[in-house]
Amino acid sequence: MTRNILPRRIGSALSCSRRLLPRLSKLLSRSMSTKALANGCLAPGPVPEGTIRLYSMKYCPYAQRARLVLEAKGIKHETININLLDKPDWFFEKNPLGLVPVLETSSNQLIYESPITCEFLDESYPERRLLLADPYAKARQKMLWEHFSKVIGCIFKITMARKSSEDTSKLEEELQSKLGFFEQHLAGAKTPFFGGDSVTMTDYMLWPWFERLDALSLTKFLDLCPALRTWTQAMLQDAAVKATINETQAYKRFFELYMQRRPEACD
């Protein structure tokens, strides 16, 4: 009965709202939860049919790998952020290691560890494949990921050494050398991205740490890596990168609070 007495303008607005609601719901389902769930928070309900759930933390580079793939492939998903400094007890049922990213399907399947989650997404949603089809080319990509784990280790060691006011000169030489390996690979390939002329899985696997170089005061290491510097500029134009990127100041705040082990760092 209410509809019969509504002014036409209000009725039109309601009609418009109904048309927009599905779009709004879709956007909300793809957005990240604004506050990380901490100890004492209730576990979320079942994953809706036709959606995949990502347990993440908005400043975690490993979780960003999965977020990049979800965005690049246009996969309908919802994101639940976990406070990694004050984890809910139920989260260990999702991943006994207590780490993100974790994927959960509507069939109660749980997948964790960033390379595994990313490959699962690429195989489960075959539109716009990010891993190269050729077995040898794919193997070479994965070997690059292994090499890059050493870069991640160097970045972590330098960050911790600086916190303790230790000399980092040897560690910085090591980081420059390891980045040089990727510089030579990219320059030798003569392509803008690590998999060719378009962004592939390897680019997304590496990107999160390059996004954080400025916040960690490590951009100087790109001065001797012109191909890598050009690659970073190209990656900044990628739609998935734009959808998942954080501001440098947000990272600086996170690192400061995280080093103090303050739970609000994850919000």
Selecting among 16, 41, 60, 225, the annotated active-site residue is 60
Distances (CA, A) of 158 to 251, 252, 256: 16, 15, 15
- Does the active-site annotation cover 60? yes
Please provide the size of the chain in residues.
267
> Which among 56, 112, 105, 49 is positioned nearest to 79, based on CA atoms?
56
Using alpha carbons, list the distances in angstroms from residue 14 to 3, 5, 7, 20, 109. Answer: 10, 13, 11, 10, 39
Rounded CA-CA distance 235/242 in Å is 9
- Catalytic positions, written as ranges: 60
